[in-house]
Amino acid sequence: MAEAAAPHTFPWPVVLFDLDGTLVDSASDIAAAVNRLLAELGHAQVDEATVRSWIGDGARQLITSALQHAGDTRTADAVMPRFMRHYEDCLLLEPRLYPGVASTLQALQAAGVRMAVCTNKPAQFVSPLLAALGIDGCFDAVLGAGDLPERKPHPLPLLHLAQGFGVDITQCLMVGDSAADAGAAIAAGAPLVLVGYGYRRDFDLHGCGALAVIDRFEELLELR
Ligand SMILES: O=C(O)COP(=O)(O)O
Ligand SMILES: [Mg+2]
């Protein structure tokens, strides 16, 4: 009788995933929303690469950067309701999972790893996006900006998720792309893996204490 394949073992029982720039390439949709706002405010359009450099610290910081870039003295708060309408309208224009994300999440799930999304994206957009991409069933918990009084790089969202899973934070691997993810993981005491393909700005991926920097999402399965 053929021997059953050994189940994949993974070093951590829980993985907390960042969303934008880690699981999902959403930059073109976010850029479309920003450009709709800029057009409405009478400003020139910006390219996707510029918007990518503004993603990672939440919608308010994104819009603060866009207004600054346009030389507009309005506050982010003053235009946020308008922006959120554009964000919602553009959310599902063409979001894409990065290569290997669906199969890797399935492999982790099959190995009994419990997973959560921990993102600075506005909370109301997270579940619809995960559902549209067909990966909503992989996660036991989803936390977005606005769900808690603090967001990454504050450690609270990570600590809150660990508590919900009933495990110590050192048992929760954080996987992200930005300084906000690294800051939150280090402040919380969570092990950290960074993806090299995301939206990082001026931040040293290799010098911030990550266990690994991966260029392909599937490399997660090789961690030991
Ligand atoms: O919306 C953002 O600014 C970034 O979201 P993220 O935390 O999933 O990268
Ligand atoms: Mg990110």
Residue-wise DSSP of the chain: -PPPPPPP--S-SEEEE--BTTTEE-HHHHHHHHHHHHHHTT-----HHHHHTTTTS-HHHHHHHHHHHHT--S-HHHHHHHHHHHHHHHTTSS-EEPTTHHHHHHHHHHTT-EEEEEEEEEHHHHHHHHHHTT-GGG-SEEEEETSSS--TTSSHHHHHHHHHHTS-GGGEEEEESSHHHHHHHHHHT--EEEETTS---S--GGGS--SEEESSGGGGGG--
Does a structural domain hold residue 6?
A: no
Residue that finishes a domain, picked among 90, 112, 132: 90
Domains identified in the chain, total number:
2
8 A C-beta contact, residue 203 and residue 213 = no
Mean pLDDT calculated for residue range 203-209? 90
Is residue 57 part of the annotated active site? The answer reads no
Is the CB–ligand 1 distance for residue 19 below 6 Å? Answer: yes
Query: Distance (Å, rounded) from C-alpha 117 to C-alpha 144?
Result: 8
The per-residue pLDDT for range 115-138, each reduced to its tens digit, is 999 999 999 999 999 999 999 999
Beta-sheet pairing, 96-97 with 24-25: antiparallel
Q: Is the ipTM of this complex over 0.95?
A: yes
Residues 102 and 205 in one domain: yes
Ligand 1 atom 4: residue of nearest CA: 56
Residue that finishes a domain, picked among 52, 72, 90: 90
- Say how far residue 26 (Cα) sits from the centre of its chain: 10
Neighbours of ion ligand 2 (CB under 5 A): 18, 20-21, 56, 177-178
Residues 104 and 61 in one domain: no
Does a structural domain hold residue 7?
A: no
Q: Token pair 């950067």 is at which residue?
A: 65
Residues 119 and 178 in one domain: yes
Does a structural domain hold residue 185?
A: yes
Question: Residue 63 sits in which domain range?
Answer: 27-90
Report the pLDDT value the prediction gives residue 203, as an integer from 0 to 100: 84
Band the pLDDT of 19: cuts 50, 70, 90.
Answer: very high
Question: What is the greatest pairwise CA distance in the chain?
Answer: 73
pLDDT score of 9 more than 90: no
Is the CB–ligand 1 distance for residue 95 below 6 Å? Answer: no
5 C-alpha to center of ligand 1: Å?
Answer: 38
Pocket test for ligand 1, best of 121, 124, 181 (most atoms within 8 A of CB): 121
Query: In this structure, what CATH number is given to the domain that contains residue 46?
Result: 1.10.150.240
Query: Residue 30: nearest ligand to its CA?
Result: 1
35 C-alpha to center of ligand 2: Å?
Answer: 20
What mean pLDDT value characterizes the chain? 95
Is the CB–ligand 1 distance for residue 56 below 6 Å? Answer: yes
Residues 106 and 31 in one domain: no
Residue 202 annotated as binding site = no
Q: Is the dihedral of CA 75, 79, 83, 84 positive or negative?
A: positive
